[in-house]
A and B are shown apart, each in its own frame.
Chain A
Amino acid sequence: MVDLPPDPISMTIQIMTSPLFLKIAIFPGLASIGIIAALLTWLDRKITARVQLRIGPQYVSPLGGILQSFADLIKLAFKELIIPEKADRFFFLLAPIFGMVLGAGLIGLIPFSPETLISNLEVGLPVFLAFVTLSPTLVLLAGWSANSKYPFIGGLRSLFQQTGYEIPLWLSSIGVVMMAGSFNLSKIVQAQSTGYVLFGVHWWFIVPQILGAIIFLVTSVAEQERIPFDLPEAEPEIIMGWQAEYPGFLFLAAQGAGFIKLYAFSALFTTIYLGGYLGPGPLPPLFWSIFKTTVMVVVVILLRGAFGRVRLDQLLRYGWTLLLGLAIANIAITYFLIEGIPAI
């Protein structure tokens, strides 16, 4: 018997409709990441405008200019790509693209529902945080490659800021690992349905880990370089910092990477503190995870309207004294919550 050669068209259809391919290509994978980054750009501009008593984008489409960022995308894509003289072309082009890939890679670890996840790694949380550690390297290389003064200052600021706030971020998420007893993000969500009991009710980890959650939120805003921690791209001081020399599409890539990071950190906060896809009522799990992620995104955007910018020395001193001390205190509190206070 001779094996028939597989029909290429039917095989393609079979691959294209397989659940894994759909997940990678549509949700939570590529297509949704691109669209969500564009929508978050619009949401960011709109909410900030409302906070500052402005209107914000309104002309493109009847729905409050919701298509504004797509119009910007087309505009920026057709701008001329000017690479400055003496710039290091390889790293100049690579850094924003790789930043986007890194952000999208973070999304691949988040469980949006029991089925809607790309990878269920047993070491999910450390891998997420280890990937976040790569981003100061990229920003430093981007600032260095432009061979211009303001981008280089921005890159160095970003290096000190992101490395300094990395440590409280890790230490605050250790509290979650202690309560859940697992690194796997799906198992952490599951642990919240049967986890911490107070007054006869199961609580999400934000209740026993409230201190850790606050530290996590503050440090994740610093990792995303948003106001009040946007020193590496401070517009009035160093004119967008490490992004100053980027032309057209590369600027879009650098900005988009920032918004993908906002999305990924909000989704991670939802997953480890707010019970992920768990929720009351008959609504599907996917609804709950998207709803909570949106709430977190709005909270982070509102911070931008509410605060000013700190100085670099203040930022680093707060990070290495106050936040680090609180994170260690949080670990101690969590230890006593789990093990009980030892009798002396």
Chain B
Amino acid sequence: MVAEGIPELVYYLGFILVNTIAIVIVLILLVSPRDRKPTPEKRAPFESGQIAVGRGRTRFIIQYYPYLLMFVVYDVVSMFLFAWALNLRSVGAAGTVPIFIFVSVLLFPLGYALKLANKPENW
């Protein structure tokens, strides 16, 4: 006897596997005849029709890095909130207080991150 939910998971993983195989096969079947010796002009990056200058991976946006950090924090917060919400009716007020404190403490770094991200001269 296996636990409830485990065979479902196997179906699901199988479904994803079948998807992958099907899409790859379709791609291989439909893949068009390739040019064996493409000219350099053909292989040049498109870049909105202009001649590419310099390295491709420049123009980095770092100003919004604080938001990325807040995403890490709030990912953790929302996973804990999910655990609380699942069992709200039996946990009741006694279990809600710690979660409430947890969320409200984590509002402070959000304020700091917003303040930093809105000042481009910091980055």
Interface residues of A (CB under 8 A from B): 20, 24-25, 29-30, 77-87, 97, 100-101, 104-105, 108-109, 118-123, 126, 133, 144, 146-150, 152-153, 156-157, 159-160, 163-164, 166-167, 170-171, 174-175, 177-178, 181-183, 239, 244-245, 248-249, 253, 312-313, 316-317, 320-321, 324, 328, 331, 335, 338-339, 342
Contact = CB atoms under 8 A, between A and B. Distances in A.
Contacts of B71: 163-164, 166-167
A149 B82 contact: no
Contact of A163 (B42, B67, B86, B87): B67
Given A170-B75, A245-B45, 18 more contacts: A101-B16, A126-B82, A149-B52, A153-B59, A160-B61, A166-B75, A167-B71, A167-B74, A170-B78, A174-B78, A177-B82, A181-B89, A248-B32, A253-B23, A253-B27, A316-B64, A316-B67, A324-B74
Contacts of B70: 167, 320
B18 A24 contact: yes
29 contacts: A24-B14, A24-B15, A81-B32, A82-B43, A85-B44, A104-B19, A105-B15, A105-B16, A121-B5, A146-B45, A146-B56, A147-B56, A149-B52, A153-B59, A156-B60, A160-B61, A167-B70, A167-B78, A170-B82, A174-B85, A181-B86, A181-B88, A183-B86, A244-B46, A245-B45, A248-B32, A335-B96, A338-B88, A342-B93
B5 to A, nearest CB: 4
A167 B107 CA distance: 13
A121 B12 contact: yes
B62 to A, nearest CB: 9
B8 interface: yes
A317 to B, nearest CB: 7
Q: Report the 5 A-B pairs with minimum CB-CB distance, sorted nearest first.
A: A119-B12, A147-B56, A148-B45, A170-B78, A163-B71
Interface string B26-47: 0100111111001010111111
Nearest to A332: B100
B11 A20 contact: yes
Contact of B42 (A82, A101, A152): A82
Contact of A321 (B47, B85, B92, B114): B114
Contacts of A108: 12, 15-16
A191 to B, nearest CB: 12
B67 A160 contact: yes
Given A147-B45, A244-B46, A320-B70, A79 B32 contact: yes
Given A101-B19, A126-B82, A320 B114 contact: yes
Given A153-B61, A167-B71, A244 B27 contact: no
Contacts of A312: 64
Which of B8, B61, B64, B96 counts the most A-chain CB atoms under 10 A from its CB?
A: B64
A79 B34 CA distance: 9
Contacts of A30: 18-19, 22
Contacts of B9: 119, 121
B32 A77 contact: yes
A149 B59 contact: yes
B39 to A, nearest CB: 11
Nearest to A93: B27
A163 B30 CA distance: 34
Contacts of A313: 118
A296 to B, nearest CB: 23
A167 B35 CA distance: 45
Contacts of B122: none
Interface string B66-82: 01101100110011011
Contacts of B19: 30, 100-101, 104-105
B48 A244 contact: yes
A279 B78 CA distance: 32
B29 to A, nearest CB: 9
A126 B78 CA distance: 10
A344 B23 CA distance: 60
Nearest to A321: B114
Contacts of B86: 177, 181-183
Nearest to A244: B46
